[in-house]
Amino acid sequence: MENNPLVKPFYTPFESAPFSIIRPEHFVPALQDNIKIALDEIDEIVSQNGTPTFENTIEALENCGSFIGRNSSLLFNLNSAETSETLQNVTQQVAPLLTQFQNDVRLNTALFERIKKVYENQEVFELTIEQKTLLEKEYKGFVRNGALLDENNKAKLRSIDTELAQLSLKFGEHVLADTQAYMLQITDSKELNGLPEAVIEMAKSTAEEKKLEGWVFTLDYPSYVPFMTYAENRDLRKEMSLAFGKRGFQNNAQNNEAIVLKIIHLRQQRANLLGYESHAAFVLEERMAQSEENVKSFLDQLLEKAYPAASNEWQILKEYALENYSLEKVEKWDTAFLAEKIKQRDYDLDELELKVYFPLEKVLNGLFSIVEDLYGLQFKKSTQIETYHSEVDAYEVFKNSTFYALLYTDFFPRSGKRNGAWMTKFRPQKKGQRPHISIVCNFTRPTKKLPSLLTFQEVTTLFHEFGHALHGILANTQYSSLSGTSVYWDFVELPSQIMENWCYHPDALTRFGKHYQTDELIPEEFITKIKKVAFFHQGLQTLRQLSFGYLDLSYHSKNAPQIKNIKAHEVEQITPLQFTPDSIENCLSTSFSHIFQGGYAAGYYSYKWAEVLDADAFELFLEKGIFDSETAQAFETHILSKGGTEHPMVLYKRFRGKEPDPGALLRRAGLVKTN
């Protein structure tokens, strides 16, 4: 243990993680030791003779186990971004240890009694608003995790939580394994017809890395998405589409069907044990939406507005397919390809023409410039801060010339890194401690001939994840458990989604839209087209997101245990919202990582919910000016810096002066007429 870096503070710049000396074998013994120390600290809290107070109970508990949080964050972040079979095995060993620790704390009767006394007598303490929020969060956290159960049911809860933690990890490992097991090798250049030069170049590089001839395409997004969008060979698009859609749904060791059924049954059992009729009821009690009925009503309202628009967009797509490609039946592997052709026809805008104006380095520098104007942050790339991979960069972030945070950026797909994009933290913010934040993406990789040139969708993804990062970087709370993104789940997407709006405005676009060779600004005509294209297929895109929201909710309603066949249930739920015929080989649910691996169970609707918030909030920026310092300062003061210190609606109304208007989203999406 003496040589284990995870059992002591990091004596590094800003106490950053010393990745080069951390080994997989360090985690289990370190966390076992960390947990023992934390439990000893809790015993000290419980064994006090004095009257329970906020300071000697709630605040003392908040300060327990800081190494557990640090080391588990390190492990799970690495398992997502730079995993290996060894690290996956370690994570499987650690998951039940952490679950047991959480249960040892949450089911500690003597500890709960102290918390309960503080909670019931809080009027005698002079608590700040943040302290009251922390007290309520702790009390509810114990109750919602079984503190009021008898010993028999506490044991059942422990067993359920341990099994759920392991199943969630296994689900993600299966999806990653199936994603990486497939590749499409092309040796005939004719089969590359329609594909952009940059995509072909990237596929060539992938083939060379694998020591194969020709070109190799994978299910990683930067390879998969452009292939489905541009490849003229319909048979190959079909092959790729089916491979993507059958992840976790094949007759192999990675099949996730039984895992999905087990997860939804265990979640339902857990909710019932705690006195809730469903997992959705349990989750939504601590959300802005509050109830399953409210979520359904919200989704139904959007569906009512989106379906006519989607139906019309689909009719146009079908007519185009028949007229130009003699396709009488449009399949799911045709939609991205046809949509891109229609977009080029109607808007005279080819994504390929745009990419040359979005080299990653210039986009990132432009984003830094925008954030500096809005929030006074400066980013300085550091060579002193270690990273976990050679492609990862570290930045020291300053505000008013004072160190404010560390930011890690990890942009390209590779073996051992899961798909998608996300923000996370290696260290939270609290009083006297600044945060270490990370954004992880899977963008178009540079090649021998070209730098990383982003699609416009990748540009918006970068801004989105940076919005999450700002929520962490600008956090300024007393307690880490209320800091940054520690907010209601249907509020967490507001800071990320509002940042996407800057991608569509000339004053911002001209800061980062610069030709990778000539540094020429993106032409004004392209900016005009980008703004128009923002409305393209909004009906179909909204319908797609709604289908995910309905499907998620169905897996966590009181009727979820009646589900016997994942595929049949999925078809029943989402077919009414899809225009392409179902493919018997594919199943979305078996790779739906947001709800079976991530934290979006009974919460996928929050993407659309947050879109209402961000559309309404950004209307204030539009009214005052997108770089208006007063508005930006208000957003930082009332939203970004406050984390979860108060109810999100209170914070939002303090910023906006009113509750959010759902019409703002419909107006922005072009789903309702505006004057």
Query: Domains (ranges, CATH) in the chain?
Result: 5-148 (1.20.1050.40), 182-245 (no CATH), 360-536 (1.10.1370.40)
Candidates 249, 190, 239, 193; CA nearest to 219 is 239
Count other Cβ atoms within 10 Å, centred on residue 219. Answer: 22
Confidence (pLDDT) at 672:
76
pLDDT in tens, 505-552: 999 999 999 999 999 999 999 998 888 888 899 999 999 999 999 999
15 DSSP 8-state letter:
G
Residue 675 has pLDDT above 70, yes or no: no
Q: pTM for the full model?
A: 0.86
Q: What is the pLDDT of residue 419?
A: 86
* Angle subtended at Cα 355 by Cα 350 and Cα 358, rounded to the nearest 5 degrees: 140
Q: What's the confidence (pLDDT) of residue 88?
A: 95
Give the pLDDT confidence score for residue 1 in this predicted structure: 79
Question: Region 32-54: what's the mean pLDDT?
Answer: 96
Quickly count: other Cβ atoms within 10 Å of residue 620's Cβ: 15
Token duo for residue 558: 């009181």
**Per-residue tokens: 660:** 């959010």
Which residue among the candidates 396, 465, 493, 619 is catalytic per the annotation?
465
Report which residue type is found at 327: L
pLDDT tens-digit map of 602-630: 999 999 999 999 999 999 999 999 999 99
The two three-digit tokens of residue 485, written as one number: 């993104």
| Structural Rg of the chain based on CA atoms | 25
User: Scanning the structure block, which residue is given the tokens 């074998």?
Assistant: 25
Q: Is 319 a catalytic residue?
A: no
Using a 10 angstrom Cβ sphere, with 0-12 exposed, 13-18 middle and 19 or more buried, the burial of residue 100 is middle
Q: At what angle do helices 566-574 and 257-273 cross, to 10 degrees?
A: 80
- Average confidence score pLDDT of the chain: 95
pLDDT of residue 669: 83
State whether residue 417 is helix, strand or coil. Answer: coil
Averaged pLDDT, 466-494: 96
Q: Among positive and negative, which fits the CA dihedral 266, 269, 274, 279?
A: positive
What is the reported pLDDT for 674?
61
